[in-house]
Amino acid sequence: MTRRALIAGNWKMNGLSADLGWAQDVCAGLPHPLPGDVVVCPPATLLFPFKVALKDSVVEMGAQDCSCFKGGAFTGDLSATMLKDIGCRYVIVGHSERREGHGESDANVRTKAEAALSAGLIPIICLGETLEQRESGKAEAIVTQQLRHSVPQVHGADVVIAYEPIWAIGTGKTATAQDAQALHAALRAAWPYEGAEALRILYGGSVKPDNAQDLLAQKDIDGALVGGASLNAQDFLDIIKHIA
């Protein structure tokens, strides 16, 4: 089965209205036809301006998190339905920065993914091991366990998984393409529901123009979740050009 590649830019807590020229630059530099999907996940404050800037473009929008609740007295939170309403097609859930910084468990991530699916969004569910877990040979066991507990019962075509080794995020260190491929293959084999072959598994963690080609050439790496390098339009385009 051929899976459609997906490159998603995670802007994290970066970006002001002065940075919206990014949308024009990326749209102008994309290959035609685009051999995959391209998504930008700006901070919530830029979702509406991005929706306007990306009108009529193939670049889709995602959010960086959503509430597991439908609505109500949850000050500061955003529901999946609100994100859909503002024009998102995707939402990242369970990023390690939220698991660590906001105490989110696998069970929380799963309920957020369920909320996203019921609102008609595609959740990008993040998994990844710490350096200590990798060095003690436990990476595969940890990450496949996160997969089983963080993912709602759904066909593989309806969600996206992002494997992001925590030690590679924002550090300039990446897993080798071979190590990443082995982990992705293990995740696909461990997918507990229907549709393992349709499941898109992205790699994330210091993806840059100079390592994207090797990573994206791997059989079970279906795209990338790009943090730092997605902030620069040219770097993001230089990663996108490696999808086939």
State yes or no: residue 10 binds ligand PGA (CB under 6 A).
yes
State yes or no: residue 39 binds ligand PGA (CB under 6 A).
no
State yes or no: residue 209 binds ligand PGA (CB under 6 A).
no
Strand partners, 127: 163
- Looking only at residues 80 through 139 of this chain, which bind ligand PGA when binding is defined by CB under 6 A? none
Q: Which of 104, 129, 164, 184 is catalytic?
A: 164
* Minimal distance, residue 193 CB to ligand PGA, in Å: 24
Which C-beta is closer to ligand PGA: that of 81 or that of 143?
143
Which C-beta is closer to ligand PGA: that of 81 or that of 162?
162
Instruction: Please give the DSSP secondary-structure letter assigned to residue 4.
Output: P
Strand partners, 122: 90
- The one-letter code for the residue type at 103 is G
| Residues 228, 93, 52: CA angle, nearest 5 degrees | 65
Check: CB of residue 79 under 8 Å from CB of residue 66: yes
d(CA 137, CA 233): 37
Q: Which of 95, 114, 140, 184 is catalytic?
A: 95
Residue 199: closest CA among 189, 183, 188, 184: 188
* Minimal distance, residue 20 CB to ligand PGA, in Å: 21
Residue 154: closest CA among 209, 96, 104, 193: 193
- Looking only at residues 177 through 206 of this chain, which bind ligand PGA when binding is defined by CB under 6 A? 204-206
95 is catalytic: yes
State yes or no: residue 152 binds ligand PGA (CB under 6 A).
no
- The one-letter code for the residue type at 210 is D
How many chain residues are in contact with ligand PGA, going by CB under 6 A? 13
d(CA 79, CA 2): 33
* Minimal distance, residue 73 CB to ligand PGA, in Å: 30
**Catalytically annotated residues:** 95, 164
Catalog residues that contact ligand PGA under the rule CB under 6 A: 10, 164, 169-170, 204-207, 225-229
